[in-house]
Amino acid sequence: MAQFFDTKEIFLKANKLYENAQLFVAFMEQKELFPYSIKLQKLKQSDIQKGYQTILKEIESLKKLKLEILYQECHFKTIGSQTLPMAIIFQNQEQFLKFIDKQDEFFEFVKNYEKIIKKYEVLQNTLLNKPKIIVQNQNNWDKLLKVCDFFLQNPRPNIYTRELAIEGVDTKFIENNKAILDILLSNILPPEAFDSFVTSLGNYGFEKKYALKYPLPLVRFRILDDGLKIANLSDITLNIQEFMELNFACENVFIVENQITTLSFPKLKNSIVIFGSGYAVGMLKDVAWLQEKKLYYWGDIDKDGFAILSQARSYFQNLQSIFMDEEVIELFKEYAVADEKNINIIRELNNLTLKEMQIYLKLQNNFYKINFRLEQERIPFDYIQMRCNPNFSTLQ
C-alpha cells in the first residue's frame, strides 16, 4: 500500500539532520537553525483519487505528532481545490531533539564542547570540522584532556606508553584511543613537540609521531665462523637499534630471504648471515657498518625475489646476488612451482644488473614456465656447499 505522509520517513529525515552534525555546527557557530521545516511529498491528482482514505488517515497521524503542519491550497482539474500538508515545522531545538529522542546526547555534547574549548580554545576549528568526535567520545573527555595536559607539559617523553603516569588514566586507555588523541595532540602541541611527517598510526605511528618508545623490529643473524662467536653464541636476535650499534667484525655478510635457509647456511670464515624476511629487509637500510662489508643477497627466483633484491640494492649499492642465476635455474627448474600471488604484477626494478634484469624479464614473460618460482629451500644443500668457497674469498 502506498504511503504519502509517512511519519517514519519524517523521523528519518529529522534524524539525518542530526547525524549530519548540522545541529552541532550551528551550536558551535552560534547560528539559529529553527524554525526548521521538513518537506512532505507533493501529491498528484491520481494519488488523491487512488488513496484518498489512506491520505486522510496519514494526515490524522501527522496531527498526533503535535508539530506544526504547513498546509497549502492545491488546485486540480477534476477534483478541484484541496488543502494538503506541505511541510512539518519544528519551531525550536528543544522540540526537534525531543522528537528524535536526542535530548540527553545533545546535552552531553554541549557540556563536553564547553569543557574542551574552555581548556583548549585552539581546538575550535578542529571541532567545527569534526563535530561528531565530541559525541563519539562523550564518556572519555576528562581522560582525553588529561592526556593532552601531560603531553603539553612533557613533550617528546621518550618512554613506553606503559610508563606514562597520568592520574586517572590507565595506559590501556591511551592504546585504545590513539586516533582521537592524534587529532587533539597534533592541534594542541607546538610543531617542535611532534613529528608532522608521520601521517599513519599503523606500525607504531603514534609512538613515532609523539616520541614514545615502541618495540623495535628484531634482526636475527647467525655467525658462520666459530672463531667470531659472541659468548659462544652463534644464533642471535637483537632489536634493530642494538644491531646498528653492533658493528660486527666480519668480512662477509649474507642476507637471505628465508628463515630455514638462514639457519642452515654453510659455515664460512669471517662471515655472518642475516634473515632478511622478504621485504622486511628494509629495516637494515640504516645499518651503517654494513656498507663496509662484502654484501650478498640470496632470494627466491621469482618476481618477488628480484624485487626484494632491487630494494636491498637501493640501500647497499655494492650488494651482489648469489644463487639467483641461469645455472641454478637450469639445474633445478624441475623443482619450480607456480607463483600464484604475482600472476599479473609487473614492477619497474631500477637496481638490477644486466644479467639479473634478463632473468627478471624472462620471469615476467613466462620464459621458463608459467608463473615460474624456484624457492631457495628447493635447491639442494650440497650444491650450496659446493659453490661456497671454504675460505669465502669468492663464490665458486
Question: For the ranges 107-116, 171-180, 297-306, 334-343, which has the lowest average pLDDT?
Answer: 334-343
Evaluate whether residue 392 is within a structural domain: no
Q: Percentage of the chain with pLDDT > 70?
A: 88
**Interatomic CA distance for residues 249 and 251, integer angstroms:** 7
Sequence-distant (6+) residues with CB within 8 A of 114 are none
- What tens digit of pLDDT does each residue of 309-323 get? 999 999 999 999 999
Average pLDDT over residues 148-172: 95
CA distance from start to end of the chain: 85
Evaluate whether residue 182 is within a structural domain: yes
Supply the pLDDT for residue 52. Answer: 61
46 and 16 in a single domain? The answer is yes
Average pLDDT over residues 29-51: 76
Evaluate whether residue 393 is within a structural domain: no
Decide if pLDDT at 273 tops 70.
Answer: yes
Decide if pLDDT at 59 tops 90.
Answer: no
Grid cell at residue 369: 614456465
202 and 259 in a single domain? The answer is no
Question: How many structural domains compose the chain?
Answer: 3
**pLDDT grade, residue 144 (50/70/90)?**
very high
70 and 83 in a single domain? The answer is yes
Decide if pLDDT at 110 tops 50.
Answer: yes
Supply the pLDDT for residue 43. Answer: 61
List Cα–Cα distances, 77 to 44, 51, 56, 57, 162, in angstroms. 11, 17, 20, 24, 77
Q: Which residue has the higher pLDDT, 123 or 371?
A: 123
Evaluate whether residue 246 is within a structural domain: yes
Evaluate whether residue 62 is within a structural domain: yes
Average pLDDT over residues 74-84: 67
76 and 134 in a single domain? The answer is no
Decide if pLDDT at 298 tops 90.
Answer: yes
Grid cell at residue 375: 624457492
Sequence-distant (6+) residues with CB within 8 A of 91 are 34, 35, 68
Q: Identify whether the C-beta of residue 308 lies closer than 8 Å to the C-beta of residue 276.
A: yes
Q: Identify whether the C-beta of residue 276 lies closer than 8 Å to the C-beta of residue 254.
A: no
Decide if pLDDT at 190 tops 60.
Answer: yes
202 and 261 in a single domain? The answer is no
**Interatomic CA distance for residues 336 and 186, integer angstroms:** 51
**pLDDT grade, residue 93 (50/70/90)?**
very high
Average pLDDT over residues 217-227: 94
82 and 157 in a single domain? The answer is no
Short-list 109, 127, 177, CA closest to 148: 177
Evaluate whether residue 395 is within a structural domain: no
| Parent domain of 170 | 104-209
92 and 120 in a single domain? The answer is no
Beta-carbon count within 10 A of 99 CB: 19
Short-list 213, 177, 187, CA closest to 196: 187
Question: For the ranges 47-56, 130-139, 233-242, 259-268, which has the lowest average pLDDT?
Answer: 47-56
Decide if pLDDT at 85 tops 80.
Answer: no
Evaluate whether residue 396 is within a structural domain: no
Evaluate whether residue 321 is within a structural domain: yes
Average pLDDT over residues 46-72: 68
262 and 240 in a single domain? The answer is yes
151 and 79 in a single domain? The answer is no
Average pLDDT over residues 7-12: 82
Q: 272 exposed, middle or buried (CB, 10 Å; 0-12, 13-18, 19+)?
A: buried
**Interatomic CA distance for residues 69 and 395, integer angstroms:** 90
Sort strands 271-275 and 294-298 into parallel, antiparallel or unpaired.
unpaired
Greatest mean pLDDT among 137-151, 329-343, 372-386 lies in 137-151
Supply the pLDDT for residue 1. Answer: 42
Compute the mean pLDDT over every residue in the chain, rounded to the nearest whole number. Answer: 88
